[in-house]
Structure 1
Amino acid sequence: MSFGSRQRAVLALLGALGLSLAGAVSPAGAADAPPGVPTQLFNGNRNCSTDADRPTYLWAGNGVVVEGIPGATADGSPVGVRYQVWPVADPSHTETVTQDRAVPGAESRGLLPDDMLTDGQTYAWRAQTMAGNTASDWTTPCYLTIDDTRPASAPAVTSPNYPPNQWNQGGDPVRFVLSAEGDDDVTGFQYSWTQPVPVIVLADIGDHGIPQPRDPYADSAHFVRADAPGGSATLDLVPPYSGGGILSVRALDRAFNVSETAVYRFLVSGTAPTVTPADPSPGFGDTTTFALRPDAGLQSRSPVVGYSVHVVGGPDGDRTFEVAAAADGTATAELTLDGITGERLDVTSRSANGWLSDPASWAVDYDTAPTVTSDVYPENDSGGGAGVTGAFTFTPKARGIVSYTYSFDAGPEVTVAAGADGAASIEWTPDSDGPSDLQVYATTRSGIQLVTYDYSFTVG
């Protein structure tokens, strides 16, 4: 007898079994109408398969949860759900799991214990709604195969154009060949540019507890099917980051059991662009044009179409902006330097095929704290005395200064306007002799508070 014929014979037997069980549950002449048949059937949070030739493969290490939404009764009386399971190879060996209390409209779960299920065996299960002395018809059987055995070994991972342990010119997608090496338990692969490889999520749980199964292979950025059980798959991938790369790969069976992880490491020669400012030594407040030029080797593989410019050190925090490239891959970016201690640019290029270069960095440091001078109270020295007034002059190191804010000996802050030349002068009379401290910072026309200068001296 062929496998298909055997399954049809089993189904006929199950139909007869269902009729006899239904008769035993619902006494003849019962006045109550039977409740509705359960709906929304799932096993292990995955869809019920009613095709005996295409069962759902499940890991049963902690048992298998079967579930369905019970049918309603005409009078709204309480309901329960009964689940039956049997080996397809021996349908006379039936086990029953009962959930006596179920919530109408919500999934009702039953656990098929792991000691009821044998690795490699195919089972059928069905459900019926119970209400008092009545029961619904049985659902159409669902079929599942227990797979508690993970793939025996990690997959083989090779690349014909980015060999491991040597430097490779970046720019082309990396071709990977993933192989199960004949292990016919393997039907696909999971891959990731991160380590460890993320946990596989096979379902979300929606309203009323209804599972929403996911097909992992729908996520082509992380999963790929083998061309046949035990076969292979080919990927062309662009690394999501610059520099060298690490691809982690696991083999998967039909139950999504995972193998050990294979790790493929490869090296990519530098592909950073060139960043050249028009002014080699700009200062605070200067607007400078930067010329961006692609790496020649990268440009020859796939033309650069744009640049990402990440600016570190601005007054409002780091920021990033994009610049489109000309046909030859070059571009210009104009930037006003407003970081109070300097700024750094990290520039990456983006090629037409999505390749990201490693970053090129350019940085400048400068001092924006004001210069402070005093004839009566010189810095790091002694002078004047209690009751002796001294003048302090604030001179800017940056353009566009409109005011200075200062305080003596951690006292209240005072703000004075700057003159047309950006300088200001104040007078101060100490109450007593001893060490003293003046802190002062300048504010620009655009409201940026520059670096504070700490001026120490001794009174007396």
Structure 2
Amino acid sequence: MTISFGARPRAVLALLGTLGLSLAAAASPANAADGAPTTPTQLFNGYRNCSTDADRPTYLSALGNVVVEGIPGTTDATGNSPLSVRYQAWPVADPSRTETVTHDRATPGDEARSLLPGDMLADGQTYAWRAQTVAGDAASDWSAPCYVTIDDTRPASTPSVTSPNYPPNRWNQGGDPVRFTLSANGDDDVTGFQFSWTQPVPVIVLADFGDHGVPRPRDVYADSAHFVRADAPGGSATVDLVPPYGGGGTLSVQSLDRALNPSDTASYSFLVGNTAPTITPSDPSPEFGDTTTFTLRPDAGLQSRSPVVSYSVHTFNGPDGDRTFDVVAAADGTATTELTIDGITGEHVTVTSRSANGWVSDPTFWDIDYDTTPTVASEVYPEDGSGGGAGVPGTFTFTPKVQGVVSYTYAFDTEPEATVAAGADGTASVDWAPDSAGSHSLEVYATTRSGIRLLAYDYSFTVN
């Protein structure tokens, strides 16, 4: 399970209400446990590690609540009797204001979560808290105190974002990573930055959860693709980033304080000239069913900055749906690939290149349109015309527009579908007699020897 929070709200608080936690002014006796209670271990606050150093407290955005937790136990490792976990908290500046909350009926070996009372937590104040296991009338020693500083105030300043090699409001040659300088503008509350190519900036994930509900706190700054520490409180940071697509982009940036409260979002947009590769078929006008070799060549400016190492080829509306595959480039950045032209509404191909440094180019496109519906003809019952009569048979001839057709599947009006084999020339004929005058219809589609069902054709006529 993963718990995360966004810019301000904490969804975890609603979750805690479902965990059977209780707040009380004093400990509630638990059932008699097996063995003597032991001091809780695995202490966390706000799903972050407990700090036992009063000079280096954990900074938390409480928003009225702080989640505290620890694992209770007894000297009898086989015991399963419910326990209670008692939590005491007090302001470091005034230890006489101690308050106590209890998690009743905790499971030995599992994290027992509770909430410190929100009315005692003040922005900017440091608090200590400790935990104790209670079993009936017996209680363990208290844990060493954990220290937290409440920080509910977001950074006051929006960061500034600049780039020396991709200035805004002009076209830039793509291919090099974009160098960004992120600055807190002297706001000493800021210790780092979060950035993203998407908007809004994704929520920050505080921790994953393992066995027995034990949090595994994340160091968000270990994710260098989205976070970077400032060189000093209120300072700056430099990152080199490759945009996820060609044509420029917009980077969104937030400053973060020690409690990971985000500032308002700053954005930096820049433009990149077209870096699309070229795609050239060996046959400029292939027909349906042909296999054609395509040569892929990189943009010269892109190739000069970082060699193209591969291409991503995406085809649309094929018999098996859309398809994407990679093609490895030669040392000069070129590549070849064979494509069978088998899209039932035409062939549509998109290609992007990827450079050695990860730069993805703009896409290039190649398209060819053709018609795969059969031609339908009848002398007795001409299309959009009238003829024949009730009970009068007519012959309907099916002729392909593409190669490789082996059969036709058809249905008159609401009758069940039927299939007729095509001759060596790809044509077929069926005889049919209407049972009534008026409007009638015929739907027919062809199937190729490779099993591709082509587009259907609707043929309408009137019976005299």
Is the structural similarity TM-score above 0.5?
A: yes
Name which of 65, 76, 79 aligns with 2:83: 79
103-112 or 313-322: bigger deviation? 103-112
Letter in 1 for 2:73: G
Name which of 61, 64, 75 aligns with 1:62: 64
Equivalent position SS for 1:115: helix
Is the Cα contact below 8 Å between 1:380 and 1:458 reproduced in 2?
Answer: yes
- Please, what TM-score do these two structures have when normalized by structure 1? 0.89
Give the structure 1 partner of residue 31 of structure 2.
none
Is the Cα contact below 8 Å between 1:33 and 1:134 reproduced in 2?
Answer: no
1:152-178 Cα shifts (integer Å, max 9, x gaps): 111111111011121111100000011
Name which of 379, 394, 398 aligns with 2:398: 394
Is the Cα contact below 8 Å between 1:157 and 1:264 reproduced in 2?
Answer: yes
Name which of 324, 332, 345 aligns with 1:320: 324
Give the structure 2 partner of residue 413 of structure 1.
417
Over 4 Å off, 4+ runs:
73-78
Letter in 1 for 2:53: D
Q: Does 1:305 align with 2:289?
A: no
For the residues of structure 2 that align with 1:441 and 1:82, how far apart are their CA atoms? 75
269-278 or 204-213: bigger deviation? 204-213
Letter in 1 for 2:51: S
For the residues of structure 2 that align with 1:46 and 1:388, how far apart are their CA atoms? 85
Shift in alpha-carbon separation, 1:391–1:77, aligned structure 2, 3 A:
closer
Letter in 2 for 1:81: V
Q: 1:282, CA displacement in angstroms?
A: 1.8
Give the structure 2 partner of residue 11 of structure 1.
none
297-306 or 424-433: bigger deviation? 424-433
Give the structure 2 partner of residue 194 of structure 1.
198
Name which of 228, 231, 237 aligns with 1:233: 237
Pairwise mapping of residues 142-221 of structure 1 onto structure 2 (< 5 A)?
142-221=146-225
Name which of 40, 47, 50 aligns with 1:48: 50
For the residues of structure 2 that align with 1:60 and 1:402, how far apart are their CA atoms? 71
- The unaligned stretches of length 5 or more in structure 1 are 1-24, 26-31
Pairwise mapping of residues 115-154 of structure 1 onto structure 2 (< 5 A)?
115-154=119-158
Name which of 433, 436, 439 aligns with 1:435: 439
356-365 or 387-396: bigger deviation? 387-396
Is the Cα contact below 8 Å between 2:64 and 2:119 reproduced in 1?
Answer: no
Give the structure 2 partner of residue 261 of structure 1.
265
1:289-341 Cα shifts (integer Å, max 9, x gaps): 22211111111111111111100111111001111112221112211111111
Name which of 89, 92, 110 aligns with 2:93: 89
Q: 1:33, CA displacement in angstroms?
A: 7.6
Q: 1:52, CA displacement in angstroms?
A: 2.1
Aligned residues: 430
Equivalent position SS for 1:70: strand
Q: 1:108, CA displacement in angstroms?
A: 2.3
For the residues of structure 2 that align with 1:389 and 1:78, how far apart are their CA atoms? 87
Equivalent position SS for 2:44: strand
Give the structure 2 partner of residue 329 of structure 1.
333
Equivalent position SS for 2:141: coil
For the residues of structure 1 that align with 2:64 and 2:302, how far apart are their CA atoms? 52
Q: Does 1:276 align with 2:276?
A: no
348-357 or 371-380: bigger deviation? 371-380
For the residues of structure 2 that align with 1:184 and 1:368, how far apart are their CA atoms? 68
For the residues of structure 2 that align with 1:87 and 1:438, how far apart are their CA atoms? 84
Shift in alpha-carbon separation, 1:44–1:416, aligned structure 2, 3 A:
same
75-84 or 216-225: bigger deviation? 75-84
Equivalent position SS for 2:251: strand
Is the Cα contact below 8 Å between 1:311 and 1:319 reproduced in 2?
Answer: yes
| Cα root mean square deviation, aligned | 2.0
1:247-289 Cα shifts (integer Å, max 9, x gaps): 1111111111111111111111111111122222222111112
- The unaligned stretches of length 5 or more in structure 2 are 1-26, 28-33
For the residues of structure 1 that align with 2:463 and 2:55, how far apart are their CA atoms? 97
Q: Which has the larger radius of gyration?
A: 1
